[in-house]
Amino acid sequence: MAELSAIPPKTEDRPSALREFWYYFSENRGAVMGLWVFAAFVFCAAFAPLLAPYDPTEQFREHILQPPAWQEGGSWAFPLGTDPLGRDMLSRLIMGSRYSFFVGIVVVCVAVTGGVIIGLLSGFAPKWIDTMIMRVMDIILSFPSLLLALVLVAILGPSLTNAMIAIAIVFQPHYVRLTRASVLSERQKDYVTSARVAGASKARLMFKTVLPNCLAPIIVQAALSFSTAILDAAALGFLGMGAQPPTPEWGTMLAEAREFILRAWWVVTFPGLAILVTVLAINLMGDGLRDALDPKLKRS
């Protein structure tokens, strides 16, 4: 039996999982750009109070609707201009990134946790429970997501927290379906059978054996729905059902500025651009993640 040890194993030279991941990820240039923008976004959110030149709610009465610095009438004191109440746009946008980031994180965490647990249960449960769970999820999926979120917020009352809860509930079914699908395919594999032959309990099979092998598609989906969550929260804010003024949430800022669209383009354009760039960056990054994590798309 010693014959195998005659040859020194050379597996050390094989690239580590992380390096291989980075190789595939970095092949997608859009994804790398997305990653940098996202990093800047996270940085803004983390150090917002230090980066913002002013308090986002402080009103400079003498500078109402001042245009951005490079336009006639603007000044470098307010690089991106001020809003109708004389608040500094730049400071509000920087602080707004905090809310957006917060919304994304909370919504994704709640939706993933709930969705994964329900998905695992329905993948392992007897057929009738599985059917019941899946029909409930189908019902949730059959509503337009924003409409359902609106209804939920209308019931719970308009606030940022309630908007996040509503969005999380709307997102849940995607994770349930995704988890269940990968559980069903993983369950067939021999390593699960051998865990059963070793006597593993249902709970152990679900969480220790199967779950870690289902995570890759869930991570990709989580990255992509981070951006959708930001978008939906902004939409709810715009409709007056999310964060309430004077919170400098991007969607709420858009709603407040609606009547000035023709007179002062900057009050609508900058929050809109902020949403666009963030969502685009996260989506690009998510695509890169999928290329790197999904073995089916990998080149031979």
Partner 1 sequence: MSLLDIRNLTVEFATASGKFRAVDGVDLSVDKGELMAIVGESGSGKSVSMLALMGLLPWTATITADQLSFEGIDLTKISARDRRKIIGKDIAMIFQEPMSSLNPCFTVGFQIKEALRIHLGLNRKERHERAIELFDQVGIPAPESRLNTFPHQMSGGMNQRVMIAMAIACKPKLLIADEPTTALDVTIQAQILDLLLRLRDEQGMGLVLITHDMGVVAETAERVQVQYAGQKVEEQPVKDLFRTPRHPYTVALLNALPERATSKLLPTIPGVVPGQFDRPKGCLFSPRCQYADDLCRSLPPTPHSAEFGKARCHYVEKIIAGELA
Partner 2 sequence: MTAPIVQASALARFYTVKGGLLSKPATVKALSGVDFDLQPGKTLAIVGESGCGKSTLARVVTMIEEPTSGSLTIDGVDITPSKWAQMRETVQIVFQDPYGSLNPRQRIGQILQEPLIINRPDMSAADREARAREMIDLVGLRPEHYDRYPHMFSGGQRQRIAIARALMLNPKVLVLDEPVSALDVSIQSQILNLLVELQERLNLAYLFISHDLSVVKHFADDVIVMYLGRAVEKAPKEMLFAAPRHPYSKALLSTTPRADPEAKKDRIKLEGELPSPMNIPKGCAFAQRCWLATEECRTAPPDLSGDTHQVACLHPLD
Which spans of this chain sit near partner 2 (rule: CB under 8 A)? 1-5, 9, 11, 14, 189-191, 193-201, 204, 209, 212-213
- Residue pointed to by tokens 């349930």: 176
Of 188 and 300, which has the nearer Cβ to partner 1?
A: 300
Residues 6+ apart with CB under 8 A from 53: 88, 90, 91
Rounded to whole angstroms, the maximal C-alpha distance in the chain is 87
Identify what 213 binds: partner 1, partner 2, none; CB under 5 to 8 Å per kind. partner 2
Q: Which two tokens stand for residue 76?
A: 């470098």
Is residue 10 a contact residue for partner 1 (CB under 8 A)?
yes
How far from 234 is each of 32, 141, 227, CA to CA, in Å?
25, 21, 11
Name the phi and psi angles at 8, rounded to 5.
-70, 130
d(CA 40, CA 127): 47
Identify what 209 binds: partner 2, partner 1, none; CB under 5 to 8 Å per kind. partner 2
Of 85 and 200, which has the nearer Cβ to partner 2?
A: 200
Q: Print the binding letters for residues 270-299 with partner 1: x by CB under 8 A, - otherwise.
A: -----------------------------x
Is residue 25 a contact residue for partner 1 (CB under 8 A)?
no
Interface residues for partner 1 in 169-228 (CB under 8 A)? none
d(CA 264, CA 257): 9
Of 11 and 142, which has the nearer Cβ to partner 1?
A: 11
Minimum Å gap between C-beta 2 and partner 1 is: 9
d(CA 152, CA 293): 34
Of 13 and 62, which has the nearer Cβ to partner 2?
A: 13
Is residue 23 a contact residue for partner 1 (CB under 8 A)?
yes
d(CA 296, CA 300): 9
Is residue 4 a contact residue for partner 1 (CB under 8 A)?
yes
Q: How many residues bind partner 1 (CB under 8 A)?
A: 15
